[in-house]
Structure 1
Amino acid sequence: MIEDRLLEQGCQELKNLIENARQNQREDGLKNALAAFYLKKSETATNNSVEFFHKSFGEFLCAKRMVENLEDLTEKTERRGQVNYFVSDKELERQVYDLFGYGLLTVEVAGYLMALLVKSEVKLEVLFKRLHKFYLDWCDGKFIDEMEEALSKKVRQLWKWGIESGQLQVDIYTGLNVMILLFELHSYGQSQEELREQLHFYPCGQPDSENFDNTRLLRMMGYSQCLVGGAFVKIVGIFLNCANLSDADLSGANLSDADLRGWYL
């Protein structure tokens, strides 16, 4: 049925692939042909890797893998008021770099990611809490030295797949991508009365709280400039709608291309 529908759409190349696959292995012909239809051999990587012909399919699988890993970060046990996560803080830090250190988290992947998270059984408030702690530590520069092994491992992995990067780039992309996910969780939380407070993201911290730093976001904007001029707006700007920047010091920041709808200053 799938085959007929695809062939009716005039996919002659797919028809040839199916016929060739049947000659090689009749029983798995359609499966092999569909794999060839969706995948192609990478032209840049040094090993036998593949790339996706259809970008949205690859983005969906990327988001699905992220959700599976993020769900693990929320698993916990509670005994006598003591919370113990199955994934320790140290292991979480390593996994977050592995998940988000590859480069830009696109709007499409972020959209799939949030849709899958909402549909899943992931405790969003727990995920938010753990990622928020990571975000604060990242802003304080905790990981660029302490996580050198995880950073260098990610760099080697990216080079293996033909992606030029360095430890600084991995650190910046990881932090910005975590920030994007926190903004997305915040945006979703504002539409859910029971989660509105639990998923409320203040990039500079809640005013009058212990972790409030009115220059935090401005400093991270400056740090991201190490990638390219205007990197923060190019990467995070579209996710800033509904952001709560209460009492944030944004003096001198160029946000002309950012999505400022629903901002609270």
Structure 2
Amino acid sequence: MYTNWCEGLFIDTSAETLVEIKLKSLQNYRQHNNFKTLGQHQVDIYTGFNVMILLLELQPYAQGIHDFLEYIIFYPSAQPQGDSLRSDLLKIINYCNSLQEDTFKSIVGQFFSATHLLATYLFQADLSRSHLLQTNLSGA
């Protein structure tokens, strides 16, 4: 699901998408509860945030259980392939920040402890005030 979101599969398709379904549901809820109107773009980004945060929170828990140590490793920028740098995370940061500057770090940054950012291209990515304790930045 996370990889599909990163590739835009929930928003860039001619078929009815998960984002459209959720948007209609939220619009119906908003009408009855006087909430701010959300667009498809916002729903897509916040859905991705929720999935990413879940995976970021699940990994340290799973890493603490020896039986899952080698099976549950989350790479926010995809698993490294040889010596090449992965720019997936930088694309996600820029996409999310299209809502408002610093949206990504203000929402997701606090969950980055013990994250695997090996060989991740982070040129000009602002992760200041993000929790990077025990984050693996080898080759980033």
Please state which band the TM-score falls in when normalised by the shorter chain: 0.7 to 0.9
Q: Is 1:156 equivalent to 2:29 in the alignment?
A: no
Q: Deviations over 1:136-159 (max 9, x none)?
A: 111111121226443223222212
In structure 1, runs of 5+ residues without a counterpart are 1-133
CA distance in 2, matches of 1:213, 1:138: 20
Q: Secondary structure at the match of 2:113?
A: coil
**What is the aligned length?**
130
- The structure with the largest helix share of the pair is 1
Q: Is 1:176 equivalent to 2:44 in the alignment?
A: no
Which residue in 2 is equivalent to 1:31? none
In structure 2, runs of 5+ residues without a counterpart are none
- The structure with the largest strand share of the pair is 1
From 48, 51, 62, the equivalent of 1:189 is 62
CA contact (8 A) 2:6 2:92 kept: yes
> Share of identical aligned residues, percent?
39
Q: Once superposed, which parts of structure 1, at least 4 consecutive aligned residues long, lie more than 6 Å away?
A: none
Using the size of structure 1 for normalisation, the TM-score is 0.46
Which residue in 2 is equivalent to 1:145? 12
From 64, 67, 76, the equivalent of 1:203 is 76
Q: Relative to 1, partners in 2 of residues 1:200 and 1:156: Cα closer, same or farther, differing over 3 Å?
A: same
Q: Secondary structure at the match of 2:25?
A: helix
Aligned-CA RMSD value: 1.7
CA contact (8 A) 1:205 1:213 kept: no
Q: Secondary structure at the match of 1:222?
A: helix
Mapping of 1:45-194 within 5 angstroms? Answer: 134-146=1-13, 148-162=16-30, 163=35, 164-194=37-67
Q: Which has the higher contact order (CA 8 A, sep 6+)?
A: 2
Q: Is 1:254 equivalent to 2:121 in the alignment?
A: no
CA contact (8 A) 2:10 2:17 kept: no
Q: Relative to 1, partners in 2 of residues 1:182 and 1:149: Cα closer, same or farther, differing over 3 Å?
A: closer
Q: Secondary structure at the match of 1:143?
A: coil
